[in-house]
Structure formats: structure tokens, C-alpha cells
């Protein structure tokens, strides 16, 4: 049965929800390997180039209250995270951007907390576009207005990211009681209406079901400029309300990567290195991902704590892994 479904996927045939559920419920290692292999074949048919994305965290001051239960990024949420409040100055942003370009990483993600109506994102986009040739993704969640999205469009932003995390409302509001799923969806719609590339991903392992994950993946097809899906796995951050919850199993995270690849053959599938663990980058590429995020080179001027965990992927190590697999790292 699984072989038949995988054969259909390989030949580019549409799979039904029942068939996707069969794949999502695979627990046999041999079949899992087959799933990963098909996903890689589908990716490699499009391109064997792997995108690399570095990061500038603009601020960890976030006005969401109460804070999201898993968050170790915002100020005073976790001693393992940034903990002390910071707001990067223009000069600090510029130094980080220059270091990323010098390291030949082609893309930067500029992200930060809520409460600025997108002004911090617009400012960062201006700095990136005026001083570098980097591709830029901005991610301040749903903290954007129509005006700031217009300004980002005028500045030539390449991608705007607004993760829905989960579309199960009950789980969303349990884990993100200060946030609004509706506002996030509205932000995604506005980004699409303005013709800007949208990135919108899933945070796995916060209480959603397997069916919710499938529904969420299907739901993303409503966004007409969707070009990237980050697949994030929950990791407990010490000191947060979810500190004692189990991390999302790597195998399950990889399964979602492979299934997303089958559903969206041409999409950019992003593995943020902090949420998969830098040591597991290889497995994410073997499951069909084609973008590694939070990749930091040795010349980076600031301390970095990943949003999902305090770790990140080192540029040289990541490039070595990509080349070892016979893939091509996209560098500038
Ligand atoms: S996860 Fe993002 S939105 Fe939620 S509290 Fe942390 S910084 Fe704020």
C-alpha cells in the first residue's frame, strides 16, 4: 500500500488525504527511508541547490502578553535564551549584514518581537537593500500593518514570513494566549494581495494532531504567493511554561518535511537549524528540505540564540554537509 502511494507521488500524481495520512503514520524505518528517497528525488528534479539563510535578530523586546508558552527568545523568558532585552542599532544591523555578505551567505532573515507595527522590519529592510545584495526575508509575525507591508514592498523585500504555527485554534490559543491566529492569517493574505512572496510554516509538537498537520499543509495552498514553508519542531526552552514538555521527535519532523515536498514539489522547505539541532542538518536534507536557516559564519559580530533553541548551524559545517551529500550550497 505504502509502495503504491509512493509510486503515485514519484509520478507526480495527486495524493488524497487518506493517502497522506497513511504516509504520516509510517513507523517502519525501511518505509520511512523510501519516503525520504522519493522526497529527495522530487526536490532534485527541481534543483540540487540548497539555499542558506543567515539571521539578524532585531530585538527580543516583545509586547505579546502573556508570552507564547514555548518562547525562549523574548526578554526574560529563559536564562538559556537572550534573557536581557536588546534592540539592535542601525550600526549593529549593518555590521551583521556586512559579515553575512562577506561570508558569501546569500540571504538574511531579519526577525524580532511584536509591538512595532512593522517599523523595525522596514528599517532593517532598508539597511539590507541599501548596503548589500542579500536576499531578505523579514519575520515579525503578524506585527505588520498595511502601511508597513507597502513600505516593505517598495523597498523590494523578497519574502515576508508569518508562521501560523498551528491552525488548530484551541492549541494555538493554549500555547500563544497573547497572540492572534486571525491577525496572522490576515497578514498572510495581505502579503499575498501585494504580490510579495510568502513564507508560512508549522511549529510541530505543541499539542496538534497528525490530522491538524495535514489540514494545515493543505490550508497553506490558499495563499497564492506562498513560496516557502518552514518546518519547525518544538524544543523545550529552560524556564518557560513548556520547559517540561518533550521535544518533537526528529523522525516525525523529517516525515513532515518529506510529505511537504511531495505536496509542494517546487516550494522552498526551510529547516531552521536551531529547531532541528545543527547536528541533524544532514537528515533534513536527506528528507527533502532545500533551505537551511539560522546559518551563522565565524565572522558574525553578535551573539545568536535561536528562536526555538539556543543553538544554530555553523556555516562551514553546514556547507560541508551539503557538499558531502552531492548537493550544491547556494553561495554568493
Ligand atoms: S514567540 Fe515571538 S511572538 Fe511569541 S512571545 Fe516570543 S517573540 Fe513574542
The structural domains of the chain, ordered by start, are 2-6+14-329 (3.20.20.70)
Which residues form the pocket of ligand 1, taking CB atoms under 6 Å from any ligand atom? 62, 64, 67-68, 71, 73-74, 113-114, 141, 179
Is 85:61 a contact under the CB 8 Å cutoff?
yes
Looking from the CA of residue 141, the nearest atom of ligand 1 is 3
**Which residues lie closer than 8 Å to 62 by C-beta, 6 or more apart?**
71, 73, 74, 75, 112, 113, 114, 115
Mean pLDDT of 166-194: 98
- The predicted pLDDT at position 95 comes to 97
For a ligand 1 pocket test, name from 64, 110, 142, 165 the mutation site with the most ligand atoms within 8 angstroms of its C-beta. Answer: 64
Q: Which of 57, 59, 61, 62 to mutate to test the pocket of ligand 1 (most atoms within 8 A of CB)?
A: 62
Answer for the pair 18, 1: CB distance below 8 angstroms, yes or no: no
Check residue 163 and give its pLDDT.
98
**Rounded-to-integer distance, Cα 69 and Cα 236, Å:** 10
Question: Which atom of ligand 1 is found nearest the CA of 67?
Answer: 5
Pick from 26, 39, 41, 47: nearest CA to 259: 39
Question: How far, in Å, from the CA of 88 to the mean position of ligand 1?
Answer: 17
Distances (CA, A) of 248 to 166, 245, 253, 284: 14, 9, 7, 14
Q: Which of 114, 144, 161, 201 is the pocket-test mutation for ligand 1 (most atoms within 8 Å of CB)?
A: 114
According to the model, what pLDDT value does residue 312 have? 86
**What pLDDT digit, counting tens, does each position of 193-217 carry?**
999 999 999 999 999 999 999 999 9
pTM for the model: 0.97
- Ligand 1 atom closest to Cα of residue 70: 1
Instruction: Write down the mean pLDDT value for the chain.
Output: 96
pLDDT (tens digit per residue) in 154-177: 999 999 999 999 999 999 999 999
What is the 183 CA–ligand 1 centroid distance (Å)?
14
Listed residue (319, 284, 274) closest to 72, CA to CA: 274
First vs last C-alpha separation in the chain: 44
Q: Which residues pair with 59 in a beta bridge?
A: 87, 112
pLDDT band for position 306 (50/70/90)? confident
pLDDT at 276 over 90: no
C-alpha closest to that of 180 among 138, 232, 142? 142
Among protein residues, the one with the nearest Cα to ligand 1's atom 6 is: 71
Spatial contact of 269 and 229, defined as CB atoms under 8 Å apart: yes
Cβ atoms within 10 Å, residue 34:
17
Cα-atom radius of gyration of the chain, to the nearest Å? 19
Asked whether the predicted pLDDT for residue 310 surpasses 90, the reply is: no
pLDDT band at 331 (very low <50, low <70, confident <90, very high): confident
Rounded percentage of the chain residues whose pLDDT exceeds 70: 100
* pLDDT exceeds cutoff 90 at 275: no
Amino acid at each position: 500500500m505504502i509502495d503504491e502511494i509512493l509510486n503515485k507521488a514519484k509520478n507526480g500524481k495527486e495524493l488524497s488525504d487518506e493517502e497522506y495520512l497513511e504516509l504520516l503514520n509510517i513507523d517502519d524505518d525501511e518505509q520511512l527511508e523510501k519516503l525520504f528517497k522519493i522526497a529527495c528525488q522530487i526536490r532534485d528534479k527541481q534543483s540540487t541547490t540548497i539555499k542558506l539563510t543567515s539571521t539578524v535578530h532585531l530585538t527580543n523586546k516583545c509586547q505579546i502578553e502573556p508570552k507564547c508558552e514555548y518562547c525562549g527568545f523574548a526578554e526574560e523568558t529563559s536564562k538559556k535564551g537572550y534573557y536581557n532585552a536588546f534592540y539592535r542599532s542601525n550600526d549593529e544591523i549593518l555590521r551583521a549584514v556586512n559579515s553575512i555578505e562577506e561570508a558569501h551567505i546569500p540571504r538574511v532573515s531579519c526577525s524580532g518581537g511584536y509591538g512595532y507595527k512593522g517599523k523595525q522590519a522596514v528599517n532593517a529592510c532598508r539597511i539590507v537593500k541599501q548596503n548589500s545584495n542579500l536576499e531578505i526575508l523579514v519575520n515579525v509575525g503578524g506585527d505588520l500593518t498595511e502601511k508597513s507591508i507597502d513600505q516593505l514592498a517598495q523597498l523590494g523585500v523578497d519574502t515576508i514570513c508569518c508562521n501560523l504555527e498551528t491552525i488548530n485554534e484551541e492549541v494555538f490559543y493554549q500555547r500563544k494566549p497573547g497572540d492572534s491566529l486571525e491577525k496572522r492569517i490576515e497578514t498572510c493574505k495581505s502579503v499575498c494581495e501585494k504580490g510579495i512572496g510568502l513564507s508560512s510554516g508549522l511549529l510541530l509538537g505543541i499539542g496538534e494532531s497528525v490530522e491538524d498537520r495535514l489540514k494545515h499543509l493543505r490550508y497553506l495552498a490558499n495563499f497564492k504567493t506562498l513560496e516557502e514553508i518552514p518546518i519547525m519542531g518544538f524544543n523545550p526552552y529552560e524556564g518557560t511554561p513548556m520547559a517540561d514538555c518533550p521535544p518533537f521527535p526528529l523522525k516525525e519532523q523529517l516525515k513532515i518535511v518529506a510529505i511537504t515536498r511531495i505536496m509542494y514539489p517546487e516550494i522552498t522547505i526551510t529547516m531552521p537549524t536551531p529547531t532541528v539541532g545543527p547536528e541533524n542538518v544532514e537528515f533534513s536534507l536527506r528528507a527533502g528540505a532545500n533551505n537551511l536557516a539560522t546559518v551563522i559564519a565565524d565572522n558574525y559580530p553578535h551573539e545568536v540564540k535561536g528562536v526555538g533553541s539556543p543553538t544554530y548551524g555553523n556555516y562551514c559545517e553546514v556547507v560541508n554537509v551539503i557538499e558531502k551529500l552531492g548537493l550544491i550550497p547556494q553561495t554568493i
